[in-house]
Amino acid sequence: MYADNVIGDKLIHKPKFILGLLAVAFLAFFTFNLAGTMFGEFLRPVIGEPKESGLYGRSAVALVLAVLFVGNLFLISFANIKVQVAIVWIELLLLFLAFFYSFNLKFSFIQSKIGFMITQGLFTTLYISAVSIAIASLIAIVGAVAKLSNNGFAYGIASFYTSLFRGLPLLMQVFLIYMGLPQIGYVIDAVPAGIIALSLCYGAYMTEIFRAGIQSVPRGQWEASRSQGFKFGLTMRRIILPQAIPLIIPPTGNQFIAMLKDSSLVSVIGVWELMFLARTLGQKEFRQMEMLITAAFIYWGMTMVLEVIQSRIEKHYRKKGQQ
């Protein structure tokens, strides 16, 4: 209740606060426009010419935008936090769409291609990412156990693996696997090569996540399980991992979202995922911008869905932990 009314109280009971916001907003817009006037040659865009409106014209626009900014802040301050967030999201989305609308896009071209991008590119991207995150999770569990082991051989292999695959760029790993394996007699297709590269790369990062999650479980849990005669595998499945999973899920979810976007790198070896289709479909009619923006919105939509799923899973384990 207090958090919802903090901004409103300041705006209602402190007029200086309103004037201060107005002054700061106006100063920011005025400074930006003044910089554009004084250093126009350095700030001139590569494509197209800026519209000349003069210093006074730009200052008037700056003043109007500053007034709208403060007025918007004042009006939404009376709503609760969820309504405020919804309004801000809608406003920013409209500004985002207006920015892309200024590119003079051919929407009929987008409409004719978006179905193929979703059925072909979206499916391939999700397939590669889902298989890769599953394999990476298995690698991470084995790697985390090895790094927590007292066996020097196991620790050496795990530490070398995580150091190597976290130290090399993912794009380089894609090329090394796709073009390197045939050099030793293993010819591999583009999709399996992409899955292997993503799995090994993210498995190295997730090894550290799983290791930290397992180490967060008190050592007494291990000792108690040993005293009961539990074997290592049973201890991990029934005692250690259930307690470590609530800590592992948030960073693992972030890794999956990052992998979803990094899967675009496998387009360089000819995998028909979203980025590959965005480039190839746009090149035929010189409409690359339309396809890239379409792919960007599809990626954004997928990440938002994954964020919702991740938050639901986290909430589930929080409730389970409180019981």
Whole-number Å distance between alpha carbons of 85 and 78: 12
Cβ(204)–Cβ(157) under 8 Å?
A: no
Quick one: tokens of 4?
């919802």
Q: Enumerate the domain spans of the chain.
A: 2-101, 108-322
**How many CA atoms lie less than 13 Å away from 91 in the CB half-sphere?**
11
Q: Would residue 169 be called left, alpha or beta, if left means φ above 0 and alpha means ψ between -120 and 50 degrees?
A: beta
Confidence class for position 34, pLDDT limits 50, 70, 90: low
User: Over the stretch 282-306, which tens digit does the pLDDT of each residue have?
Assistant: 877 788 888 888 888 899 999 999 9
Which residues contact residue 251 at a Cβ distance below 8 angstroms, ignoring those fewer than 6 apart?
A: 209
- The more confident residue out of 24 and 11 is 24
Q: How many CB atoms lie within 10 A of CB 299?
A: 20
Cβ(114)–Cβ(123) under 8 Å?
A: no
The confidence score (pLDDT) of residue 41 equals: 47
Which residues contact residue 152 at a Cβ distance below 8 angstroms, ignoring those fewer than 6 apart?
A: none
Quick one: tokens of 62?
């700056």
Confidence class for position 156, pLDDT limits 50, 70, 90: very high
Q: How many residues are listed for the chain in this entry?
A: 323
Q: How many CB atoms lie within 10 A of CB 210?
A: 27
Whole-number Å distance between alpha carbons of 149 and 145: 6
**May I ask the CATH class of domain 108-322?**
mainly alpha
The confidence score (pLDDT) of residue 11 equals: 46
Cβ(133)–Cβ(200) under 8 Å?
A: no
Which residue bears the tokens 């599953």? 134
Whole-number Å distance between alpha carbons of 204 and 147: 12
Cβ(273)–Cβ(263) under 8 Å?
A: yes
Q: How many CB atoms lie within 10 A of CB 31?
A: 11
Confidence class for position 192, pLDDT limits 50, 70, 90: very high
Which residue bears the tokens 């005669």? 229
User: Over the stretch 73-94, which tens digit does the pLDDT of each residue have?
Assistant: 777 777 788 888 888 888 888 8
- For residue 126, CA distances in Å to 22, 60, 261 come to 46, 48, 10
Burial of 77 (0-12, 13-18, 19+ CB in 10 A): middle
